[in-house]
Chain A
Amino acid sequence: MKSSVIVFPGSNCDRDIATALEKMQFKNQMVWHKETSLPKSDLIVIPGGFSYGDYLRSGAIAGKSIIIDEVIKAANSGCLILGICNGFQILTETGLLKGTLLRNRDLKFINRDVNIKVMNNETKFTSKYKLNEILKINIAHNEGNFFTDSKHRDQLKKENLVAFKYCDEKGNISEGSNPNGSIDNIAGIYNSKKNILGMMPHPERMIDQIISNTDGVNLFTSLMN
């Protein structure tokens, strides 16, 4: 499996995701945002960080960068795309994913490990997880409050496009287990073809027992399949 990680000024999780991909045996390349072509890739990752200092809106400037045209082309031809945190924000700004990420409900930057539930395990990103499996994954964001219109909200439900929802340790999905105010506790979504996943939690931080846990590993092993 070949992967590419797109790097913007202000990306700061690009090395983390590269390390995770290499550990999982991906052949990874880093791609600077000014590049006009992409190396042949089975997976493109838009990493977390604060691209362009979150100017205008989180992800807005990166979403219009030169390489993004190539990412959109690749996405439309079926390439797998994973956007994590700022990467998710960038994907919504490109239009590859619908909806947007607002300021957290309580106006605070949140950096802590939260529980999320696997809502669909019949995708290329999650096939190694069990349905409704509860994962503990780190979140670190200021704008993670997922919002979308009612039409898209219905589509997400109907087509089973919600990837993960925030929950408590027992798997209860409630306002109390919602860290940032996201509509329906949504932590990650797919596009309708399910080749694009955007998620606020950081699976690349959960690949090693020594520093955290290994709850993120199966996302990468699913992709390897």
Chain B
Amino acid sequence: MKFSVIVTLKKDVLDPQGKVVLNTLVNLGIDNLKSIRQGKYFEIDVDEVDQVKAEKQINQMCEKLLVNLIIENYKISKIK
């Protein structure tokens, strides 16, 4: 079973990389940009048929390693 995990910075955490990307896009002529926040994306394939179990496992992975909960939020979605 395959899942995606999207990790994003929390609202109050500064994102200098996102800001630089935004400034560059503005320089390229895009004039209606409101904000850009940069994040991370994981694709995780687990050998498990029970979706509840699999999601629980992915949650543990996020909390143990993939996400720094002080500064980041995450969202798990099933891909297939």
Contacts and interface: CB of A to CB of B under 8 A. Distances in A.
A24 interface: no
Contacts of A98: 70
A102 B14 contact: yes
A102 B69 CA distance: 13
B16 interface: yes
B51 to A, nearest CB: 26
* SS class, residues of chain B in contact with chain A: helix
A103 B64 CA distance: 21
A107 B18 CA distance: 11
Contact of B17 (A56, A99, A103, A148): A103
Interface in A152-197: 181
Interface residues of B, number: 11
A107 B64 contact: no
A223 interface: no
Instruction: Give chain A's interface residue range (CB within 8 Å of chain B).
Output: 10 to 19
A11 to B, nearest CB: 20
Contacts, number: 31
A209 to B, nearest CB: 37
A91 to B, nearest CB: 13
A56 B66 contact: yes
Contacts of A106: 16
Interface in A36-61: 56-57, 60
B65 interface: yes
Contact of A181 (B14, B64, B65, B70): B14
A107 B17 contact: yes
A218 interface: no
A147 B68 contact: no
A100 interface: yes
Contacts of B16: 103-107
Contact of B70 (A104, A105, A148): A148
Interface in B38-80: 64-66, 68, 70-71
A64 B70 contact: no
Nearest to B19: A107
